[in-house]
Amino acid sequence: MSAGSSQGSARRGRPGYDQELLVRRAVEVFIRRGYDATSVGDLAAELGLSKSAIYHHVPSKEHLLSLALDDALEGLEAVIADATREPRDVSAYARLRGAVRQSVLVLVDKLPSVTLLLRVRGNGEVEISALARRRRIDEQLAGLVRDAVSEGTLRNDIAPDLISRLLFGTVNSLTEWYRPDGEVDAATLADAVVELAFDGLTVPRG
Amino acid sequence: MSAGSSQGSARRGRPGYDQELLVRRAVEVFIRRGYDATSVGDLAAELGLSKSAIYHHVPSKEHLLSLALDDALEGLEAVIADATREPRDVSAYARLRGAVRQSVLVLVDKLPSVTLLLRVRGNGEVEISALARRRRIDEQLAGLVRDAVSEGTLRNDIAPDLISRLLFGTVNSLTEWYRPDGEVDAATLADAVVELAFDGLTVPRG
């Protein structure tokens, strides 16, 4: 945000509010009260803004949701793009391990918008489109799992689709309890998830 | 339910409804619409019952919630009780592995009520009391993790509390996607969770 746009927004909206901050604070309210249960009036009251200040930044509540979900989805899509852009001599196993680690880092970095994304159930166009993008991400990650099973680096006694579900279920479950201001930093968390899932918790014998 | 009580309930409520069935169907509605957002009137409309038919079986909406959460909590508490009741020569590692497996089986068996339990945020006495019981379960499971780290069977390079969070986060995340009528049966699911978490997904070398 440039100083100019900040002044422009301060003149017309509440001082210091720009679209990015509005989205961030709206996401907090949506998570706490539920998106469907929150009207633009509720949102304005929670944020100490007028409804017209909100409509100055976005045309609708759906638009706020769409910006928040885009933020989460772009982060996760970048993880997949990175994993598939690796040189050909990098194993599917290494790509998958990297993608899991990066997914955790994105989740921590964009915790509120990813949390909101994971609660989307498909009410309305914005949610349906977000679910379709999320499904595409899940399919690409499942493809990485299948490739790693095929190359013989990932165990083949659990169905690859079940592995994908469990693996990304573990990553997604972090939104339920992880708090960035707690004792565990993002890198420690990401390493722990990768080690639990790939290497297991059991101390190796001998 | 005896034939006698069935007839009694049929006389006073809707034919075939008893308290257990009412709780089961109410839980489905609470999960779909959200507990807070569902009034007794909404519930009656969804279930095709009169409000007085509901009040014939339970004194309040909170009582329905309480019965559902009890069902989930009793199942999970039994897992802990079993794990701690094992003979002394059973390692903490074996107890923990067994507790994780049993937790998955309880979650599948009581999927709707466990799903509801995991959404409880502490609004009102019933939820606060359920959260306290849930916390006690989590503490006892974390104790099993610490014991297994102490006995040297569980890796000590990840903090035991973080291991607990990840382990039971993985179990809890099953409520997000697992469907009992799908391709994966309960035993296969439970084994896969245990193997992913304890043994890891990587094919052992050599």
Provide the residue ranges of all domains of chain A, joining segments of one domain with +: 3-58, 62-199
Q: Which residue of B has its CA nearest to A145?
A: B201
At position A24, the amino acid (one-letter code) is R
The Cβ of residue A184 has, within 10 Å, a number of other Cβ atoms equal to 18
Whether B11 shows a pLDDT value over 50: the answer reads: no
Question: Residue A37's pLDDT is what?
Answer: 87
At position B20, the amino acid (one-letter code) is E
Residue B91 sits at the vertex; the CA angle it makes with A191 and A204, to the nearest 5 degrees, is 40
Residue range A143-173, pLDDT digits in tens: 999 999 999 999 999 999 999 999 999 999 9
Contacts of A196 in chain B (CB under 8 A): 158, 163, 166-167, 170, 196-197, 200
Residue range A23-70, pLDDT digits in tens: 999 999 999 988 988 999 999 999 999 999 999 999 999 999 999 999
Contacts of B162 in chain A (CB under 8 A): 184, 188-189, 192
Tell me the CATH architecture of domain B3-58: Orthogonal Bundle (1.10)
How does DSSP assign B76-135, residue by residue? HHHHHHHHHHS-TTS-HHHHHHHHHHHHHHHHHHTHHHHHHHHH----SHHHHHHHHHHH
Whether B5 shows a pLDDT value over 90: the answer reads: no
List the single residue in B152, B201, B203 with the smallest CB-CB distance to A197: B201
Question: Residue A127's pLDDT is what?
Answer: 97
**Both structure tokens of A133:** 């993008």
Can you name the CATH fold of A62-199?
A: Tetracycline Repressor; domain 2 (1.10.357)
Least confident of A101-115, B3-17, B74-88: B3-17
At position A204, the amino acid (one-letter code) is P
d(CA A14, CA B192): 52
CA B12 to chain centroid: 31
d(CA A141, CA A143): 5
Residue range B95-109, pLDDT digits in tens: 999 999 999 999 999
Confidence of residue A133 (pLDDT cuts 50, 70, 90): very high
Task: Name the DSSP letter for residue A195.
Answer: I
